[in-house]
Structure 1
Amino acid sequence: MISEFRLENYGPIETAIGKKLGKINLILGENSTGKTFLLKALYSAIRSHEEANKGNSNQDFSEVLSDKLYWTFQVDKIGGIVTKGDSKRLSASISFDDKSSLAFSFGKDTTKKIVPDQNNLTKRESNSVFLPPKEVLSLMNVIDKSTNHDKVFGFDATYADLVAALRLPTQKGRNHDAFASSRKQLEDMFFGKVEFDLSRNEWVYKKGNTKFSIMAAAEGVKKIAILDTLLGNRYLNKDSIVFIDEPESALHPTAIVKLLDIVSVLAQAGIQFFLATHSYYVIKKLALIANHNEMPIPTFMASPEGNWSQSCLLKDGLPDNEIINESIRLFEAEFEGSFK
């Protein structure tokens, strides 16, 4: 697992410090505070390490990281990611629980090449993945054309990576018990399953013996199917790291709760999660999971100046946050109104 990170002058993030990270880590913040930026910063570094020198690729880590940052943040030059201001430099360091670490830095004039200050990370056979708020199954061909053929800005590298992962065929044979049970729960949530139909060369929603076009499936069904597919094709294993931006997006509150129960099972099986949200349901459910499973769940929030730090452990109670406070204010308003 990632055990620590430190980011400085990374886009809207002045500083972000994480220590003693858990199997599930929660990132809270209002719009435009940098929640997604923080997830993408961590993902792009870790995924670059996983891709470097893998398979038929002859790119070294420096080349992969440079490309990943360029296509993830989609700026004219990599230096454009650096927080605005004279002489500021972006710096990032990430450490794993096996004491290996990665560190790199660059200034606003950097164009394409980044040379890491330190990289003694051990080789990873596992895969990290970034799950965006929107589903991608119905957009896979569009994303593939835009990113791999036309090579134009639009869909960033997290989408391209996810599409490549989803194209891997489902594997037969016994899966990890936690993964197999999680897939069953995911499919039971919507009384059917989404699968790739080779004869039709498209994704379909299968309910009983009837198949529907993926375009006819609800947004929430397609979103859940993405996680189910990544478990079924073994792209994810017990040492994977999963970054989820707004897990509540397009899901009914009941489905949010069930999804987080599955996240808890997968986390206890070994997968590490980073979740960014502004949903009361997500925060409350994770607090219950933390208490029930004695799981710390470090929670991070940003100051108005863009400084991110750990605010609390969810096992100790809900954080002092406007998402929680607004829910309380609405309850109090309703309670007071009932006595008028």
Structure 2
Amino acid sequence: MIERFEMKNFGVNRHIAWEKLAGINVLIGENGSGKTSVLKMLYAVLRSLELNKKGNDPYSLGRILPDKLYWTFQVNKLGELVKKGTESSLRCRMALDGKNIEFEFGSDTNLTIKSLKTDFEESWGNTTVFIPAKEVLSLFSVIIKSREQDKMFGFDDTYLDLVHALSIPPQRGRNSRVFAAGRKNMDRLLGGKAVYDEKNKQWYFKNKNTRFSMGVMSEGIKKLAIFDQLLANRYLSQQSIVFIDEPEASLHPKAISEFMEFLYDMAKNGMQIFLATHSYFVIKKLCLIARREQYSIPFLGLSKDETIPLQYEDMIHGMPDNSIVDESVRLYQDEVDAVLGGEI
């Protein structure tokens, strides 16, 4: 589990220091405030630690991390990740499972990170996955061709890594009690299962004895099906760390509520989850879960306006002040003004 992390001069943010992280952690902010970039940085570091001298692979973190950052952010040089207008270096520090990793590089950095310190001498030993806002099940062949054949920018490493994770066939035998219950809840929410046809290299959605092309299914169904497959093939474990960008995308508010309950069940049994969201329904449901269960859900509010301080809260104490609720209140006030104005 990530216990804390600090980022300086990264992207649009001058300084982020998020401590006392928990099973579910939530980031919000307007478009352009850096939510997705923060998730991607954390993912790139974790994935690099996962691949560090894994098995018989001799490649060390010093070689893996720059390559992972390059393909995750798809920049011409790593120095482009440094906050514009600063002469200071980008610095990243993370405490993970009682160990530390830290690195830094300046705006003139090409594809090599010279300043890297870590307590991880071997592979981290767990798995991490990034689930982007856009679904991938109907884009499998396109992603593989774009990245592995054409070696082109477009689909970053979060997409490619997810495709590889989903390609693992479902495992036979009894799943853990927690994941077995989670899959039952997910199957109920989905109303069926995602099935991969290895021969035709296509995903299908199966409801009882009827099979549908995944292309005709809704974006929301595809996103939920991703989680179901990662539980079925055991890629995810109770020690995994999952990043989800806009979990609300294409989901009905009722499905969002049930999905948050599912994520809470996964988190309380060991999995760590980071969410970046624009949804009132997501933060409201998580706030209710936190208060109901007396369960810590740390909250980070980012802003692209440097004059506004970052917001560090915990939903166990109630709904934090945030721009999503502020806009909901503003729209309600506009409606009241319109109604009263019409009567006058």
Check 1:335–1:181 CA distance in 2 against 1; reply closer, same or farther (3 A cut): farther
In the TM superposition, residue 11 of structure 1 has moved relative to its aligned partner by 1.4
Match of 1:324 in 2: 325
| Partner in structure 2 of residue 103 of structure 1 | 102
The CA distance in 2 between the partners of 1:38 and 1:264, in whole Å, is 22
SS at match of 2:22: coil
Spell out the pairing of 1:257-272 with structure 2 (5 A cutoff): 257-272=257-272
What is the aligned partner in structure 1 of residue 23 from structure 2? 23
Deviation larger for 239-248 or 78-87: 78-87
Alignment of 1:176-325 (within 5 A): 176-303=176-303, 304-305=305-306, 309-325=310-326
What CA deviation, in whole Å up to 9, does each residue of 1:79-104 have, x standing for no partner? 11111125221100000242x10000
**Which residue matches 1:114?**
113
Structure 1 stretch 269-278 or stretch 179-188: which is displaced more? 179-188
**Structure 1, gaps ≥5 residues long:** none
Distance in 1 between the 2:307 and 2:139 partners?
33
What residue ranges of structure 2 are gaps of 5+ in the alignment?
none
Question: Bigger CA drift: 163-172 or 299-308?
Answer: 299-308
Any idea what the Cα deviations from partners look like across 1:273-324, whole Å, max 9, x if unmatched?
1100010000100001111121111110124118874421101111111201
**In 2, are the aligned partners of 1:82 and 1:108 still within 8 Å (CA)?**
yes
Task: Return the offset for 1:180.
Answer: 1.2
Q: Secondary structure at the match of 2:230?
A: helix
Is the CA contact 2:81–2:107 (under 8 Å) kept in the aligned structure 1?
Answer: yes
- With the length of structure 1 as denominator, give the TM-score of the two structures: 0.95
Q: SS of the counterpart of 2:299?
A: strand
> Number of matched residues?
339
Structure 2 residue matching 1:117: 3-state secondary structure = strand
State the match for 2:92 in structure 1. 92
Offset at 1:50?
A: 0.4
Corresponding residue number in structure 1 for 2:77: 77
C-alpha offsets along residues 189-237 of structure 1, whole Å, 9 cap, x if unaligned? 1311111123543211101101111111111111100011111111110
Mapped partners of 2:165, 2:115: distance in 1? 27
CA distance in 2, matches of 1:132, 1:196: 20
Q: Structure 2 CA distance, aligned partners of 1:32 and 1:200?
A: 39
In the TM superposition, residue 115 of structure 1 has moved relative to its aligned partner by 3.5
The TM-score with structure 2 as length reference comes to 0.94
* Residue in 2 that maps onto 1:57: 57
User: Cα offset for 1:56?
Assistant: 4.3
